[in-house]
């Protein structure tokens, strides 16, 4: 049987998983690739560090040149995290004539254009299924399986850490801090979870998906984003009372005026598929004009799910599918993008708002007058009686609007919080549009 020599650079969690699949399960890669993927080298920084996986003699090295100078190594899984030295190593691998597979979405979101142009100029290719949604093969589905469609919208739960935390808050009634601590204990959150919980990680993945689905070229840091780090348990409870769950949603929708993009905690009605995504799972709902709505759900991170995506990419690259896809799609090419990113203030949507208001006559009239002036129509409203045992002078007022422009919603909130009868900060969140019906 034909043999393709491959290498791994970076033997952390995912790298060890990839090594395990290549070494222990060569039979299945052989069956699906019609050839053996032979792990020739695994490059690490520190040879003395304890490894979870046993490698055959001669495979482990701390010298990248062992890979760069071996012309028989055709495909390399580059699994170093962060931007540097990941970027430099990637360029070196391409220069040395290797096709590269990576799971590093931060690298692609930041340096995708440079890396892809470089690969194209050299006639090489880059595969990155594992960079978005881990084991869920959304990259292949969007860039290959849906190619007959104009994609109209894409909504994703793309950060498993955030979804785990929000699910725990919602189901267990835990505070954000307690849920985060549990996520860290179970290994679902890093010691420093900032990029996960502030929406940055989801925005990086959305930038990649928006490029594939809509041809948009946007810096991830330009995507408006709100994380779950300021999410209040009270809002999860009010949402539930209204028949909704709150999820961190990466939103992309093509409308006449352009492409809407955002990452934010969003209300989704019970029973809609994204509302039912629990624990650390990822999910993506895509609507194409021919295919209708498609929904994908699975493990978005973790050693073996991510390794599953990396090895599938290594097989696709070795057999020649990825080079074709890479060539035909012209990803992140200098070709002009004709997609206009729509300004945040214009995106229409339904809104959930919560205010802390004084418990006295006339308050509701003042607030609803402002909503009316800003042309916001009220869909539902909740105000509970104050606890008779308490001595609170204020109560929570929750309002759900019908569809309105973001600008109008923000203007109304800005005016309402300045009312003397309103105290503290207001909460404002989007409500996700219903998935289109099946008929």
In the set 59, 146, 210, 431, which binds a copy of itself (CB under 8 A)? 146
Does 292 participate in binding a copy of itself (rule CB under 8 A)?
yes
Q: Which tokens hold the place of 306?
A: 């991510």
Q: Measured between alpha carbons, how far is 119 from 124 in angstroms, rounded to an integer?
A: 5
* 205 given a catalytic annotation: yes
User: For the window 60-99, what string marks contact with a copy of itself as x by the rule CB under 8 A?
Assistant: ----------------------------------------
Site for a copy of itself in 249-288 (CB under 8 A): 271, 273, 276, 278-281, 288
Q: Measured between alpha carbons, how far is 197 from 175 in angstroms, rounded to an integer?
A: 14
Does 137 participate in binding a copy of itself (rule CB under 8 A)?
yes
Q: Measured between alpha carbons, how far is 74 from 68 in angstroms, rounded to an integer?
A: 10
Only segment of 29-37, 83-91, 97-105, 191-199 that touches a copy of itself (CB under 8 A): 29-37
Q: Whole-number minimum distance, CB 173 to a copy of itself, in Å?
A: 19
Residues 6+ apart with CB under 8 A from 165: 176, 179, 180, 183, 189, 197, 228
Q: Whole-number minimum distance, CB 256 to a copy of itself, in Å?
A: 18
Counting every residue written for the chain, the total comes to: 439
Alpha helices in 25-137 (DSSP H): 26-33, 65-68, 86-95, 105-121
In the set 141, 175, 368, 383, which binds a copy of itself (CB under 8 A)? 141
Q: Measured between alpha carbons, how far is 402 from 242 in angstroms, rounded to an integer?
A: 14
Q: Measured between alpha carbons, how far is 352 from 206 in angstroms, rounded to an integer?
A: 23
Q: Measured between alpha carbons, how far is 342 from 210 in angstroms, rounded to an integer?
A: 13
Closer by beta carbon to a copy of itself, 129 or else 260: 129
User: For the window 317-356, what string marks contact with a copy of itself as x by the rule CB under 8 A?
Assistant: --xxx--xx-xxxx--------------------------
Cis bond upstream, residue 85 (ω within 30): yes
In the set 100, 125, 239, 309, which binds a copy of itself (CB under 8 A)? 309
The answer to whether 296 and 284 are in contact (CB under 8 A) is yes
Please pick, among 5, 98, 205, 247, the residue that the annotation labels catalytic. 205
In the set 107, 109, 307, 409, which binds a copy of itself (CB under 8 A)? 307
Closer by beta carbon to a copy of itself, 191 or else 290: 290
The answer to whether 351 and 401 are in contact (CB under 8 A) is yes
The answer to whether 311 and 22 are in contact (CB under 8 A) is yes
Between β-strands 348-358 and 404-405, what pairing exists: parallel, antiparallel or unpaired? antiparallel
Q: Which residues of the shown chain bind a copy of itself in the complex (CB under 8 A)?
A: 17, 21, 25, 28-29, 31-35, 129, 135-137, 140-141, 143-150, 186, 215, 271, 273, 276, 278-281, 288-299, 302, 304-305, 307-312, 315-316, 319-321, 324-325, 327-330, 438-439
Supply the residues annotated as catalytic: 205
């Amino acid at each position: 049987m034909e043999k393709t020599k491959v290498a791994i650079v970076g033997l952390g969690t995912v790298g060890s998983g990839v090594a395990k699949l290549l070494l222990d399960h060569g039979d299945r890669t052989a069956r699906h690739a019609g050839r053996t993927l032979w792990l020739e080298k695994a490059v690490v920084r520190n040879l003395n560090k304890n490894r979870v996986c046993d490698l055959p003699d001669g495979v482990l090295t701390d010298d990248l040149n062992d890979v760069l100078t071996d012309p028989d190594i055709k495909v390399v899984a580059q699994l170093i995290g962060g931007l540097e030295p990941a970027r430099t190593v990637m360029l070196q691998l391409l220069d040395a004539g290797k096709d590269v597979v990576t799971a590093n979405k931060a690298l692609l979101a930041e340096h995708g254009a440079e890396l892809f142009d470089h690969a194209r100029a050299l006639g090489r290719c880059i595969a990155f299924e594992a960079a978005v949604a881990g084991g869920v093969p959304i990259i292949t589905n969007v860039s290959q399986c849906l190619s007959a469609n104009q994609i109209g919208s894409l909504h994703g739960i793309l950060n498993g850490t955030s979804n785990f935390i929000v699910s725990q808050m919602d189901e267990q009634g835990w505070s954000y801090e307690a849920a985060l601590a549990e996520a860290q204990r179970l290994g679902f959150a890093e010691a420093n979870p900032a990029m996960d919980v502030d929406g940055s990680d989801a925005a990086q993945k959305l930038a990649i998906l928006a490029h594939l689905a809509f041809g948009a070229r946007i810096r991830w840091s330009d995507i408006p984003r709100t994380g779950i780090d300021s999410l209040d348990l009270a809002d999860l409870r009010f949402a539930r009372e209204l028949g909704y769950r709150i999820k961190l949603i990466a939103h992309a929708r093509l409308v006449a005026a352009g492409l809407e993009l955002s990452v934010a905690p969003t209300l989704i009605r019970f029973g809609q598929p994204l509302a039912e995504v629990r624990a650390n799972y990822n999910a993506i709902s895509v609507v194409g004009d021919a295919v209708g709505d498609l929904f994908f759900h699975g493990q978005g991170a973790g050693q073996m799910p991510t390794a599953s995506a990396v090895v599938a990419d290594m097989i696709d690259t070795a057999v020649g599918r990825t080079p074709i896809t890479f060539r035909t799609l012209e990803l992140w090419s200098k070709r002009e993008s004709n997609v206009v990113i729509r300004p945040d203030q214009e995106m229409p949507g339904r809104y959930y708002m919560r205010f802390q208001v004084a418990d006295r006559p006339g308050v509701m009239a003042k607030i609803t007058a402002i909503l009316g002036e800003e042309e916001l129509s009220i869909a539902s409203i909740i105000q509970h009686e104050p606890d008779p045992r308490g001595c609170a002078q204020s109560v929570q007022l929750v309002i759900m609007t019908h569809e309105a422009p973001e600008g109008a919603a923000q203007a109304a909130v800005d005016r309402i919080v300045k009312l003397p009868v309103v105290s503290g900060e207001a909460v404002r969140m989007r409500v996700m549009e219903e998935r289109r019906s099946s008929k």
